[in-house]
Amino acid sequence: MLRRVLRWTGALILLALAGLTIWLYAPDKPRSALEMAYPGEYRMVLGQRLRIRDTGPRDAPPLILLHGFGSSLDTWEPWAKALSAKYRVIRLDLPGFGLTGPDALDDYSDRRTLAILAGLMDQLGLARATFIGNSLGGRFAWEFAAAFPQRVSRLVLISPDGFASPGFEYGKAPEVPLVMNLMPWVGPRSLIRANLAPAWAHPEALPDTVLDRYRDMLLAPGVRRAILDRTRQTILSDPSGRLRSIAAPTLLLWGEEDHMIPSSNAQDYLRLMPHAQLVRLRGMGHVPFEESPAAALPPLERFLAQGKP
């Protein structure tokens, strides 16, 4: 009898594991279908195929918009539509994300990313531009301003990344939890919603269309493995010296209900960047341009309208 019970128990466990695997498993989506659903043009820059959008008058002041971790250029669509009347608005899927996909050299160092951004500017004939970056894209924006000061006219940082935090120490690659190694094969909507919800001040208002887009971009060919590779290659260094060197006028935009990078972190930037000003966004989270695009836009428009530095 005991043997029979153990045999049935083992069978039930195997069935449960098989069901869990089926529920979690999500293969990559075909690139052709994703490219039809999400428009863009493609350019080769330093051997990397980049997906970009370039809208607005070609002779207008250029803006380069850099998205955050796990996102894509589509996150900027509401702002891009509004800004394209007066500005040339350029956004891209950063290497390792979206329909740009994995880096051709499997190199996710900041140096490689900055070189690709400079190469894209060269291809587009841009000597200077205003950089607008969110979270990880915010770090790339201020890193670019420190490395290429002559190419950045203004800087807009929306909840930027860059300082050490739990799990990300200076001079040390982060320890990736063992369960994260399953990432290239899983992608249930419920898990993606749970990870995306903290970026919104009011996660109950997260639209299904936005969730579907994030999931589609996560399931783009090779992206989940690229995200793991980027995480393993991320080694932060104390940004103090580089931030102090930035002379470009800088606007910090920070949602007061940001649960991913708290608005209190803005003081670190204000302390080091004498040309920075802060606008706190009431009732908004980590991605105000996506959660409350119309309400979050006016301080950016006022900053851009101040003219040449």
Instruction: Let me know if residue 13 belongs to a domain.
Output: no
Per-residue model confidence (pLDDT) at position 20: 47
H or E segment to which residue 226 belongs: helix 223-233
CA dihedral (65, 117, 31, 29) positive or negative: negative
Q: Are strands 41-45 and 48-55 parallel, antiparallel or unpaired?
A: antiparallel
Return the DSSP state at 220. Answer: S
Number of separate domains in the chain: 1
Judge whether 286 and 200 are in contact, CB under 8 Å.
yes
Is residue 8 domain-resident? no
- Identify whether 10 is part of a domain: no
Residue 45 pLDDT? 98
Residue 142 forms part of a structural domain: yes
Tens digits of pLDDT across the chain (309 residues): 333 322 333 333 333 434 445 557 889 999 999 999 999 999 999 999 999 999 999 999 999 999 999 999 999 999 999 999 999 999 999 999 999 999 999 999 999 999 999 999 999 999 999 999 999 999 999 999 999 999 999 999 999 999 988 877 888 888 877 777 777 888 888 888 998 999 999 999 999 999 999 999 999 999 999 999 999 999 999 999 999 999 999 999 999 999 999 999 999 999 999 999 999 999 999 999 999 999 999 999 999 998 654
Beta bridge partners of 168: 165
Domain-located, residue 207: yes
Quick check: is 22 in a domain?
A: no
**Edge-to-edge strand order for the sheet containing 129-134?**
41-45, 48-55, 88-92, 62-66, 129-134, 152-158, 250-255, 276-281
Dihedral sign from CA coordinates of 191, 196, 201, 203: negative
In order of 112, 114, 137, 157, 243, the CA distances from 141 in angstroms are 14, 9, 6, 7, 11
Q: Please report the pLDDT score of residue 180 as a whole number.
A: 74
Return the structure tokens found at 164: 């050490």
Domain of 256?
A: 29-304
Question: How much is the pLDDT for 270?
Answer: 97
The Cα 211–Cα 206 span in angstroms is 7
For residue 183, tell me if it sits in a domain: yes
Residue indicated by tokens 């969730």: 211
> What integer pLDDT is reported at residue 68 of this predicted model?
97
251: domain CATH number is 3.40.50.1820
Q: 250 in helix, strand or coil?
A: strand
Q: Is residue 2 in a domain?
A: no
